[in-house]
Amino acid sequence: MVKIAVDGMGGDFAPHAIVKGAELAYREGLADIVLLGNKDVIGPLIDKSSGIEIVHTTDNVDMDESPSVALRKKRNSSMNKAFALLKENRVQGVVTAGNSGAAMAFAIFTLGRFQLVERPAIATLNPNAKGGKFILLDAGGNVDCKPGHLAQFAVMGDAFARSTLGIGAPRIGILSNASEIKKGNDLTREAHVIVKGLGLNYVGYVEGMDMYKGNVDVVVTDGFVGNVALKVSEGVAEILMTFFKENIEKGIKSKIGYLFLKEVFDDLRRRIDFSEYGGAPLLGVDGVCVICHGRSDEKTIKNAVGMAKCFVEKGLNDSIKEKMQNFQLLQRIKEK
């Protein structure tokens, strides 16, 4: 059975939601669980009969703590101890809903990066209109990127799509403001030249509409733009749903209409609910690491454990490692 370390103290609703989510995952047989955190706090939250192991830690990384400060002062935190267990092969993956910048910093520090990966990236899975998914990376870790970083994201995203989504030749696009290559900005134009030369199934620039229409499998962007794009998406989806809710409640006629359409609304809500996706893997570090939204609830954590298990079983990291080694072009870029 795959064993996953869960950072019990990270997240807006920690430790309660994290512990409950880990317990759910265990009960559903997704994975064996090691829960890290203060045993006096998390111990009473766990059903004694469950087989979840607790590793006692005393330090926590705060949600708004600077990653560099955390890296210096919080080596004994629940977060870093989870990575340490992974490094020692006592678990096969880590799930955390804590400070994502600190999680990246500890993952890089404790696990190390694969050869040729300068910037590990957070890769989110997002729903498209065709009922499928697209991968977006980087979704937040790396705010000021160089063109070579985007090329590394393209290679890692390709490996992710192949090994996890089972797509034979993933369509890779660079997120931009227009489809014409001469548009874009300095970063995308330079990245375009490099990515075009990598031998991937590169489809050029993609726009917001392309992602959601299902015209692309992997969307490459710097972490600032990627994060803004995802948060704008969440914002639009949420206000549209709020609009329906408020207007439906206004009159008897619309309330009746809602009853007839309830299944459609429920299906949509499920599709755009980030908790269904669990979390996002950090690609490029030497170990499976799933980073969850700070406001994750127990369902998110459970799904994130399932995701981590899936990445372990499908050998996601081996495929990234192998893929990166094959890209001598990336080596030459790095040497520049």
Nearer to a second copy, 179 or 319 (CB): 179
Nearer to a second copy, 47 or 180 (CB): 180
Please report how close the Cβ of residue 249 comes to a second copy at its closest, in angstroms: 10
Please report how close the Cβ of residue 218 comes to a second copy at its closest, in angstroms: 16
Cα–Cα distance for residue pair 144/146, rounded to 1 Å: 7
Q: Contact 171/217 with Cβ under 8 angstroms?
A: yes
Nearer to a second copy, 234 or 322 (CB): 234
Please report how close the Cβ of residue 236 comes to a second copy at its closest, in angstroms: 4
Please report how close the Cβ of residue 146 comes to a second copy at its closest, in angstroms: 13
Nearer to a second copy, 10 or 223 (CB): 223
Cα–Cα distance for residue pair 187/230, rounded to 1 Å: 19
Helical spans, DSSP H, in the chain: 16-27, 39-42, 67-73, 78-87, 100-106, 147-160, 186-196, 208-213, 223-248, 252-271, 298-313, 316-325, 328-335
**In this structure, what token pair is assigned to residue 284?**
């490029």
Cα–Cα distance for residue pair 236/213, rounded to 1 Å: 16
Nearer to a second copy, 126 or 300 (CB): 126
From the list 217, 232, 226, 212, the residue with the least C-alpha distance to 150 is 226
Cα–Cα distance for residue pair 257/273, rounded to 1 Å: 23
- DSSP, collapsed to helix, strand or coil, labels residue 32 as strand
Nearer to a second copy, 179 or 201 (CB): 179
Nearer to a second copy, 177 or 331 (CB): 177
From the list 230, 181, 169, 222, the residue with the least C-alpha distance to 205 is 181
Nearer to a second copy, 58 or 254 (CB): 254
Please report how close the Cβ of residue 116 comes to a second copy at its closest, in angstroms: 24
**Cα 280 vs. chain centroid, distance in angstroms?**
1
At residue 113, what are phi and psi to the nearest 5 degrees?
Answer: -105, 160
Instruction: Give the Å distances, CA to CA, from 91 to 3, 108, 296.
Output: 5, 17, 22
Interface with a second copy by CB under 8 A: which residues?
64, 66, 128-129, 140, 143-144, 175-178, 180, 182-186, 188, 207-213, 223-225, 227-240, 242-244, 247-248, 253-254, 256-261, 263-264, 267-268, 271-272
Please report how close the Cβ of residue 185 comes to a second copy at its closest, in angstroms: 4
Please report how close the Cβ of residue 197 comes to a second copy at its closest, in angstroms: 23
Please report how close the Cβ of residue 323 comes to a second copy at its closest, in angstroms: 27
